[in-house]
Amino acid sequence: LYDALLERLAEEIPQLQRIARAIAQLDGLCAFADAAIRFDYCRPAFRSDVGLEIDGGRHPVVEAQMASAAETFVANDVRLARTRRLLLITGPNMGGKSTYMRQTALIVLLARMGAYVPATAARIGRINALFTRIGASDDLASGRSTFMVEMTETAAILNQADERSLVLMDEIGRGTSTFDGLALASAVLKQMLRQNKSLTLFATHYFELTRLGEKFKQLE
């Protein structure tokens, strides 16, 4: 009986797959609409040039967790453009650097998916790809340490990102000694500004890098 059922269903596989895709799409759109209404998301606008403007941006997951604890998420703005391509983000541990970067990426991703976004307003330019180097992880089974994973991912970004990409880099160089790490972070930052020219959020503990703002006008 089971084999007979499978044979009967096999005849309808194309139709069942079309129905499943339609239901999945409808389910996703309904989820987007429900979240937009319940959490006061806004409709993003798209612009033809390269750039990103977010007013009152929020991290949807962190905001939901804080709301359940009766706390309020502090919204943040983002401004990236041809003349302001890289934001250097400094501060202590748990100061919000990674949250700020992740919420920016999530807002762009949600907008490109066709959803409303957690912000007061969002104007998103022609972003063709999203690259991230965030977190610490190793791949010891393949002989790659935490530092090797960090450098491999960083090299991939430097080889692929272009001026229409959004790049998130968090604590480049932390996997090695202080001055070696500072030298690496400085070299990567300069490469992003001179060669890749991507829209970049660059978080770091190396406060010395802020001096590069005097040399590069596109860095803030």
| Single-letter amino acid code for the residue at 36 | A
In the beta sheet, which residues pair with residue 170?
203
**Residues 153-187: pLDDT tens digits?**
999 999 999 999 999 999 888 878 889 999 999 99
Helix, coil or strand: residue 31: helix
CA distance 165 to 156: 13
The residue type at 154:
T
Distance, CA of 14 to CA of 183 (rounded, Å): 56
C-alpha separations of 116 from 15, 19, 123 in Å: 31, 25, 12
Parallel, antiparallel or unpaired: strands 199-203 and 86-89: parallel
* CA geometry: angle 86, 205, 207, nearest 5 deg: 70
Task: Please state which of the ranges 47-61, 131-145, 184-198 shows the lowest mean pLDDT.
Answer: 131-145
CA–CA distance, 87 with 203 (Å, rounded to integer): 8
Q: Average pLDDT, whole number, for the chain?
A: 91
Predicted structure pTM score: 0.86
